[in-house]
Amino acid sequence: MSYLEAGADIIETNTFSSTTIAQADYDLQHLAYRLNVEAARLAKRCTAAMMAKDPSRPRFVAGALGPTNRSASVSPSVEKPEFRNVTYDELTEAYAQQARGLLDGGADFLLVETVFDTLNCKAALYALRDLFEKEGDKYPEVPVFVSGTLIDKSGRTLSGQTTEAFLASISANRLAFCVGLNCALGAAEMRPFLQRMSKAAGGLYVLCYPNAGLPNALGGYDETPSMMCTHVTDFAASGLVNVVGGCCGTGPDHIKVFYEAVRKLTPRVPPTLPPYMTLSGLEPLVVTPQTNFINIGERCNVSGSRRFANLIKANKYEEAIAVARQQVEAGAQVIDLNFDEGMLDTKAAMTKFLNLIGSEPDIARVPVCIDSSDFTVIETGLKCVQGKPIVNSISLKVNEDEFVRQARIVLQYGAAVVVMAFDEQGQAVTAEEKLRICKRSYDILTSSRVGFRPEDIIFDPNILTIATGMEEHNNYAVEFLNSIKMIKEAMPLAKVSGGVSNLSFSFRGNDSLREAMHSAFLYHAIKAGMDMGIVNAGALPIYDDIPKDTLELIEDAILNRTPDATEKLLEYAQRSKGQVKEASSSTVEEWRTRPVAERLSYSLVKGLSDHVVEDVEEARKTFPSSLQVIEGPLMAGMNQVGDLFGSGKMFLPQVIKSARVMKKAVAYLIPFMEEEKAERLRLNPELQEQQQHAGVVLLATVKGDVHDIGKNIVGVVLGCNNYKIIDLGVMVPCEKILQAAVAEGADIVGLSGLITPSLDEMVHVASEMERLGMKLPLLIGGATTSKIHTAVKITPHYAQPTVHVLDASRSVTVVASLLDRNAKQDFADDVAAQYQEMRDDYFRTLTDRKYVSLEKARKYKPQTNWTAQPAPVRPSFLGVHVIDDYDLTRLVNYIDWNPFFAVWELKGKYPNRGYPKIFNDPNVGAEAKKVFDEAQVMLQRIIKEKLLIAKGVVGFYPANSTGDDIEVYADDDDHARRSVIGTLYGLRQQAEKDAEDPYIAMGDFIAPKAKEVGDKDAVKDYVGLFAVSTGFGLDAIVEAFKKDHDDFGSIMAKALADRLAEAFAEALHEDVRKNLWGYAKDEVLSSDDLIRVRYQGIRPAPGYPVQPDHTEKETIWSILDVTKKTGIELTESMAMLPGASVSGIYLANPQAKYFAVGPIAKDQIEDYSRRKGKTVEHVEKWLRPDLSY
């Protein structure tokens, strides 16, 4: 009761260990059901009593299902890694009984908590789904919460899974309603992992109830309620959670503080994520449209590998495990496991092998494909896998009812499924038949009869053998290729796979020809849309390396281009059989005669390491330095590898072989580079007196990626240029990167990655660097990265310089520029300008850009805990302040000269971009200096003779937001804040964003309006308005120049008046921040800082990106009475007269930032027109450039 009285909405039953398995330790297993019933009844009596006191607030009982004291994934015996002291079936039976007891006792929902072994959790979820489906009359489905626990700061469960892999596993059977983390870590340590879960939990709610810190030396917990509350409130305010609470070491006092802190915060809105297939081993595998072909390793198949079959038959499992390890090391992203052999106990072999590789983290990190023609063997395998595997396969050939039964079982175990193109009539041969069967299967699987997600369905339309000599087989490959396109068009979220080796079965024994056929077939299949395949990709030749005459014969057969293709390929096979080695050796001799630079590139592309050391040594003697060997032929070879990989002509395993050759070459050169560096220091002693290092560069391959060759080369190249390199290695989590950057005093952070999921992790790291206020430049590199991705996806998340580095040879120039105090800002500005242009071009040409509804955009607006922030500063006065004849002399230092040169179409190129560097530009520098000097003469004349007069008005008012808009009030007391003197209407972004990015409107930066007068939690906020002009007198100046036919002078006067008006706005804004409003009294900024917007708050102007509606100027003019007080007028087209005028809004919120509303959809236009009381046509007229339709 004390927890409920403290504010808890949910109390859980004290049934953590109330399973037959856990109670067996005390010989009390016979009481397990009663323990659960009574615990639930007791908790239910408490919630009923509280609800009787306050019926308006429901309270709930969570029936707790603990992890048990045994693990289905981890052996209790070091000597017997395949042994388990509990089975999946024992767990499901125990959990089913516990759930019955909890529900009979009145639990409102079930909580599978403190999950340290995901396989135990999957057994619980299986049992619950079974209970709801088979005993639904008595036990109708209730919400199911799942909460994992992480053993340490690595962010993994005891059974080894990462947070994202755990989430993929537990959400796969579609039963979980809410997911989260509890116990183990304290709140502070839990944040990065909770953030990952929140981001990845699409459509699911998130809970978190941490311990009161880590246990102390005596096993107690030291975090007080107020200490924990800081972190818990941050979780809620940051939109990471829907449910918060406390675990070990927390009591009613903690809950009371949590309740008061979070009760009025906006709950997290579950994100809608792209429908990507996510598999998992210990780590997740996310299949996105950008993912390259996925290699499913084929060598752990007793039917396809004679060596593997012999090892299993001989009970040599340790050597058989080495086969699996070799495949993962070679780049297989999934491992196919098949033990279908007449002389094997297939179920026992499957269980033993899965248990053994479960104890091998380097293998278990990738998902498995459980492959068998016997469904009972598949089910046996599913009981051993804690990740989210693939089942290979099911089909309609068993009849529809059995197909549905098997599919429901696969879903219940939480697996993706391969569906073969078979039905009751047999195997599909033509593309049309393949499509018909696949579509029928898809409709059944995605219907309520089964409930599969479309993205978890993989079709195998049957790769059948060609070139058999039977004419009807000649078009089999063409039919498969055509079927891929048809399936992807009809079912775009489904995947297509196949067993590639089937294609060439008629050429058994001629491995070189078969491998060439597989390579050529994959090239065409991947282009057609094939997502994955069971293939030994590491053994395939590169498509471009297949001799042209051979390739033509192969493709004639694959594509059925000629009637005699089979005969010609068979003739070729007979001629070439037995000559492969001889041909291969002659090829080797030929390339060994080439120049050394070409030999090195060849070795890298082919993944040949036999001669690389001798070739590197030869190159070292001919190149000026060892470093130039890396920057020259070695980088040229790796760039070629990257090009082939990007075009689909190389596969990941082949790239990894190339990387190993590169590593070997670089490792050989490192000692020589160290000697060369020492020699330079000996010959130039003054170098030793300089700074020990030119800078500290921290490098890391991001979490989820194990590839590091590119990063290592960058480290070597930078190290040779006197930079201190801190290399964190591979698979580095975000928090470790950021902690190391601070601890090591890094000057620059460099992130690397090869696989596509690395891109999302880089965005996450950039976002976290921004959240923590880091100021370090960020370098982005790796095979899948690009300048456009960096510009569009990463740079917007981090305010500091973020630069894509194409390859190691460019890294020195980039790092040197970023660490040069004199060059850094110009370099960063140049990159920022390039990236902005790329973003603009990208979005302008994006024909399929998507937009969210206004309802969804508002749902995902920025979340602000207004009561937790410092109260807004009240301006030094409320009302209007008029400025007459402002001293122009004071404005000179505030002038931003860069737009002035744009008037004259003078633009310098880096490093001479911008004022005053433009004067050094070889093309426009002289002309820029000339026109600038002439501007100074005219400016001094304007000031001296008072040819222009500066006038303005500024006002401050009480204000609060109402949704997207800002209401402006007459006075500051509670009642006056109901008297609205004007509304500044806002527009909200609607262009679809990444899941974690909010949709912003101007009103988000002002505290919301009180629900009622006297609301204690209401925040009094304020807004400023202004209008200034330096255009009074300009018409006379221009007219005088026109009389003299001096167009140059006329343009110059107008340009200077515009510059002075902007300078007036800048100077006034500074005075507002420091004096008139006074919210940044201690601000000390240079003119350059002002131009770069390094101050607190913003001053958006109507007609510009933050609020593109020019008619909003009318509200400013009305409230300030601008025309009467200054003489600045508005025309019918909302232009300001004089033209050299600026107007806008002041927002003081430290979180306020400039943003672009961007294109908006029809629903917002209609809503906006209703709020403004204008017709849709009127609003569309003024916002036409910003309409998305």
Would you please indicate which residues are annotated as catalytic (active-site) residues? 705, 707, 758
How many separate helices (H) and strands (E) can be counted in the chain? 43, 32
- Integer Cα distance of 1167 and 28 in angstroms: 64
- Integer Cα distance of 963 and 1006 in angstroms: 10
- Integer Cα distance of 882 and 873 in angstroms: 22
Query: Using CA atoms in the order 623, 625, 629, 630, what is the torsion angle rounded to 10 degrees?
Result: -170
For residue 974, how far is the Cα from the chain centroid?
44
The helix or strand, by DSSP H or E, that contains position 423, with its residue range, turns out to be strand 422-423
- Phi and psi (nearest 5°) for 258? -60, -45
User: DSSP assignment, residue 493?
Assistant: T
CB of 310 within 8 A of CB of 548?
A: no
DSSP codes, 72-122: SSS-S-SS-TT--SS-HHHHHHHHHHHHHHHHHTT-SEEEEEEES-HHHHH
- Integer Cα distance of 748 and 696 in angstroms: 7
Spell out the alpha helix ranges (H) of 559-708. 565-576, 580-591, 596-606, 612-622, 626-629, 635-646, 652-683, 686-689
> In this structure, what token pair is assigned to residue 1042?
């026109």
> In this structure, what token pair is assigned to residue 569?
């390929």
User: DSSP assignment, residue 296?
Assistant: E
For residue 577, how far is the Cα from the chain centroid?
49
> In this structure, what token pair is assigned to residue 262?
């979070």
CA proximity to 910, closest of 900, 902, 920? 920
Spell out the alpha helix ranges (H) of 400-510. 400-413, 431-446, 476-490
Please tell me the number of Cα atoms within 13 Å of 398 on its side-chain side.
Answer: 16
User: DSSP assignment, residue 633?
Assistant: I
Cβ count near 978 (within 10 Å): 14
Residues 6+ apart with CB under 8 A from 571: none
- Integer Cα distance of 660 and 4 in angstroms: 60
CB of 918 within 8 A of CB of 901?
A: yes
Residues 6+ apart with CB under 8 A from 21: 29, 68, 69, 70, 86, 90, 91, 94
- Integer Cα distance of 805 and 778 in angstroms: 10
CA proximity to 537, closest of 663, 637, 656, 641? 656
- Integer Cα distance of 991 and 1154 in angstroms: 16
Which segments within 13-78 are labelled E, that is strand?
A: 60-65
16 SS3 class: coil
> In this structure, what token pair is assigned to residue 41?
């009844």
Spell out the alpha helix ranges (H) of 707-786. 709-719, 734-743, 757-771
User: DSSP assignment, residue 1075?
Assistant: I
Beta bridge partners of residue 700, listed in sequence order? 751
Q: Which residue has the tokens 């222009």?
A: 948
CA proximity to 740, closest of 704, 699, 768? 699
- Integer Cα distance of 311 and 334 in angstroms: 21
Handedness of CA 1037, 1038, 1041, 1046 (dihedral sign): positive
